[in-house]
């Protein structure tokens, strides 16, 4: 995917700026527990400013995202909005912190991808009080309790091995 924007007019006029609106579908925008649906657009309203080092892009990036709850794995939808402020520089090496300007064009897709993926929560929850799933049978504990027998407490295992001898006292009159 390539979201190329022509910035030659900005490069030739230091101190100038313009606002752009981008609305693009960006495939593969996902983590283990979150995904921007491929059929939905990501929108950005960016101020593109010509600065000494290159072009500074700043503004909001927003769209819809589908999460999987980290506890119960139930899918739920949300929205994201990320403020970006990133520098695009001509001749920037691949490992540089700024993004590249190539032949008068900037590709916004890597910037959008980085901004969205780093803003996604590591462990999204469908609700703060989500009970999750039973670790043994996989039942959704938000719906109700599972039917698994309680796990024995391993701290009591040593006591379960103790055997008591019952003394036979029958017929001795000591009852």
Mean pLDDT of the chain: 88
**Contact present, 133 and 144 (Cβ < 8 Å):** no
**Contact present, 86 and 97 (Cβ < 8 Å):** no
* Confidence bin at 167 (pLDDT 50/70/90): low
User: Residue 35 pLDDT more than 90?
Assistant: yes
State the Cα–Cα distance between residues 52 and 86, nearest whole angstrom.
14
State the Cα–Cα distance between residues 25 and 81, nearest whole angstrom.
16
Q: Where are the domains of the chain?
A: 4-119
| pTM greater than the 0.85 cutoff | no
**pLDDT number for residue 156:** 82
pLDDT in tens, 55-72: 999 999 999 999 999 999
User: Residue 159 pLDDT more than 90?
Assistant: no
């Amino acid at each position: 995917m390539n979201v190329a924007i022509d910035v030659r007019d900005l490069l030739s006029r230091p101190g100038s700026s313009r606002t752009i609106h981008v609305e693009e579908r960006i495939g593969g925008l996902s983590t283990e527990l979150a995904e921007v649906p491929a059929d939905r657009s990501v929108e950005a309203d960016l101020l593109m400013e010509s600065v000494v080092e290159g072009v500074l892009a700043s503004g909001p990036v927003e769209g819809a995202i589908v999460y999987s709850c980290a506890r119960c794995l139930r899918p739920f939808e949300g929205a994201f909005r990320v403020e970006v402020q990133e520098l695009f520089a001509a001749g920037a090496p691949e490992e540089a912190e700024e993004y590249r300007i190539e032949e008068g064009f900037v590709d916004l897709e890597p910037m959008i991808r980085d901004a969205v993926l780093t803003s996604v929560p590591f462990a999204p929850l469908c609700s703060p009080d989500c009970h999750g799933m039973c670790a043994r049978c996989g039942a959704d504990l938000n719906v109700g309790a599972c039917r698994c027998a309680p796990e024995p407490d391993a701290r009591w295992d040593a006591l379960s091995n103790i055997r008591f001898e019952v003394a036979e006292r029958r017929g001795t009159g000591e009852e």
